[in-house]
Homo-oligomer: A and B are copies of this chain.
Amino acid sequence: MPLTTNPFEDDKFHEECGVIGIWNHQDAAALTALGLHALQHRGQEASGIVSLSAGASFHIHRGLGLVGDIFGDAKVMAGLPGRAAVGHNRYATTGETALRNVQPLYADFEFGGFAVGHNGNLTNAMMLRRALVKRGCLFQSSTDSEVFIHLIAISLYANVQDRLIDALKQVEGAYSVVALHNGALMGARDPLGVRPLVLGKLENAAGGDGWILASETCALDIVGAEFVRDIEPGELVVINDDGVTSVRPFERQRERFCIFEYIYFARPDSIMEGIGVYETRKRIGAELARESNVDADVVVPVPDSGVPAAMGYAAEAKIPFELGIIRNHYVGRTFIEPTDQIRHLGVKLKHSANRAMIEGKRVILVDDSIVRGTTSKKIVEMVRQAGAAEVHMRISSPPTTHSCFYGIDTPSRRQLLAAQHDVQEMAKLIGVDSLAFISLDGLYRALGHARRDNANPQFCDACFTGDYSIPLTDWPQEQAALAAEMAVGK
């Protein structure tokens, strides 16, 4: 497996979505836009808002690009009146299909308008879709969310809440959903609580409580909302002018929140399931230093995501922390097309070495993960060109050996470096003097557990373990292969 040196690739897992909902606020759409801005890291390709104004009128604006570009125009915002709204950020997809897939999806039902946005992935969406098409349902998009909508449309229950529950009971997967109809804002998390969703309270000029649902607490902070609580796994909350009602369509199960949210996805200032992301990352760095420190002159984070772990590492290892790599903030989506001549210069458009902090030094690079290894290889080359005496890499996650089917954009296992090579081979391919990953138990310790409870794991960590807590119904081959692998593993 050759490591390419395309200087533009961002070798990371990508969160696929962020969601938000507002109930009872005079600036519902504006707050939704602000919240989407705060959740921009969860999806940078497209955003949408559906607002609900008096007389059960729904208003939609969706577009491709960043939140600020799509909703930065006063005329656009004026077209989204009302006291309730739902919004959605999306990662990925191109072409004509793209705009059809931008959420929130909206449909006219018998009982009125209905808008829904979701973060995550339904693992039986394709199976359900085939059945729905057979029944005569027409699909306009390729999103999982449309399955929800059709399930609600054909449900025989009389009211929208019962129909939503009917739909939730038929889908499998990892998801957080926000939905809006004339009577209520609703939010739900999957039974295992893999994807996040939080509830906050808004002050409201007009009196009465305003409410907010969002993927992360940072969206509450930007609009000045007070954090109330995480939505619980398998919980459906129904928010209307009588307040917040909790409905539990599912039996309680042990939660398995996505552990990668702490490592990379979530914004450092968010609090997830009661645990601060920034401090967690520092603790992971400290654990990493305890497990696998090496004698060196300087600890350098790979910016920006590696910074807190590097700080924790440096403090624990008592090695100076220095910003030995500078990130160029002006790298946008469009960029200088890499010609062959330029590519061979090994040019770094996103990062540059701070030579004065590197030259002649033994450097420990701290990063959060290695996916394909392509970016890591380039950064190591750059650090060596800047004169590093030694380059050691420390990773604040265990090796990512498995793909995610629960709402994260990941390459296939063939492309995952850690699925194809052991750590020693990886070190050689990346070109470092040493390479170490935090252990699985080390990661759990940083999250406040003595160790991973292998019988009942506290988190979803399938990308490190292959331990998929939700059936991969739509991927029978992968499911079979994993079962075989697990059998061997045991």
Measuring CB to CB, which residues of chain A are less than 8 angstroms from any residue of chain B?
26-27, 30, 33-34, 37-38, 40-41, 44, 60-62, 66-69, 71-74, 77, 96, 99, 107-110, 133-140, 149-150, 153-155, 205, 218, 221-224, 267-269, 271, 276, 278-279, 304, 307-308, 311, 321, 323, 326, 328-332, 334-337, 339, 341-342, 345-349, 352-357, 385
* Residues of B close to A331: CB separation below 8 A: 68
Q: Chain A interface mostly helix, strand, loop or mixed? A: mixed
B137 near A268: Cβ-Cβ < 8 Å: no
Interface centre among A110, A218, A330 (most CB of B within 10 A): A330
Query: How distant is A7 from chain B, measured CB to nearest CB, in Å?
Result: 10
25 sample A-B contacts, Cβ–Cβ < 8 Å, listed by A number:
A34-B349, A37-B336, A37-B349, A41-B330, A61-B96, A68-B332, A69-B332, A72-B334, A110-B133, A110-B134, A135-B154, A137-B137, A138-B153, A140-B140, A218-B352, A221-B352, A221-B353, A269-B352, A269-B354, A271-B356, A278-B323, A278-B354, A304-B329, A311-B321, A311-B323
B222 near A278: Cβ-Cβ < 8 Å: no
* Residues of B close to A205: CB separation below 8 A: 341
Residue of B nearest to A62 (CB): B96
CA gap between A61 and B98 in the complex, in Å: 12
CA gap between A26 and B339 in the complex, in Å: 12
* Residues of B close to A335: CB separation below 8 A: 68, 72
Residue of B nearest to A48 (CB): B96
Residue of B nearest to A344 (CB): B205
Q: Which one of B34, B66, B332, B346 lies within 8 Å of A347 (CB-CB)?
A: B34
Residue of B nearest to A385 (CB): B224
A96 near B37: Cβ-Cβ < 8 Å: no
A341 near B30: Cβ-Cβ < 8 Å: yes
CA gap between A222 and B153 in the complex, in Å: 46
- With contacts A137-B136, A137-B153, A138-B137 taken as known, whether A352 is within 8 angstroms of B27 at the C-beta atoms is no
* Residues of B close to A278: CB separation below 8 A: 323, 354, 356-357
Q: Which one of B137, B223, B328 lies within 8 Å of A345 (CB-CB)?
A: B223
Q: Which one of B68, B96, B109 lies within 8 Å of A133 (CB-CB)?
A: B109
* Residues of B close to A27: CB separation below 8 A: 339, 341-342
Q: Which one of B72, B134, B279, B307 lies within 8 Å of A336 (CB-CB)?
A: B72
- With contacts A138-B150, A278-B354 taken as known, whether A336 is within 8 angstroms of B71 at the C-beta atoms is yes
A336 near B221: Cβ-Cβ < 8 Å: no
* Residues of B close to A37: CB separation below 8 A: 328, 330, 336, 349
- With contacts A353-B269, A354-B268 taken as known, whether A348 is within 8 angstroms of B222 at the C-beta atoms is yes
CA gap between A223 and B349 in the complex, in Å: 10
- With contacts A337-B74, A341-B26 taken as known, whether A150 is within 8 angstroms of B133 at the C-beta atoms is no
A34 near B134: Cβ-Cβ < 8 Å: no
B108 near A337: Cβ-Cβ < 8 Å: no
Q: Which one of B279, B339, B347 lies within 8 Å of A222 (CB-CB)?
A: B347
* Residues of B close to A153: CB separation below 8 A: 136-138
A30 near B339: Cβ-Cβ < 8 Å: yes
B268 near A326: Cβ-Cβ < 8 Å: yes
Residue of B nearest to A339 (CB): B30
Q: Which one of B69, B329, B332, B334 lies within 8 Å of A334 (CB-CB)?
A: B69
CA gap between A136 and B140 in the complex, in Å: 15
CA gap between A308 and B320 in the complex, in Å: 13
* Residues of B close to A329: CB separation below 8 A: 41, 304, 329
A73 near B279: Cβ-Cβ < 8 Å: no
CA gap between A40 and B74 in the complex, in Å: 29
* Residues of B close to A136: CB separation below 8 A: 137, 150, 153-155
CA gap between A99 and B96 in the complex, in Å: 10
Known contacts A66-B332, A222-B348, A307-B323; 20 additional CB pairs below 8 A are A26-B341, A27-B341, A30-B342, A33-B336, A34-B347, A37-B330, A40-B330, A67-B336, A68-B334, A74-B337, A107-B139, A136-B154, A136-B155, A138-B138, A222-B349, A224-B345, A268-B354, A269-B326, A271-B355, A329-B329
A269 near B222: Cβ-Cβ < 8 Å: no
CA gap between A349 and B153 in the complex, in Å: 38
CA gap between A71 and B332 in the complex, in Å: 13
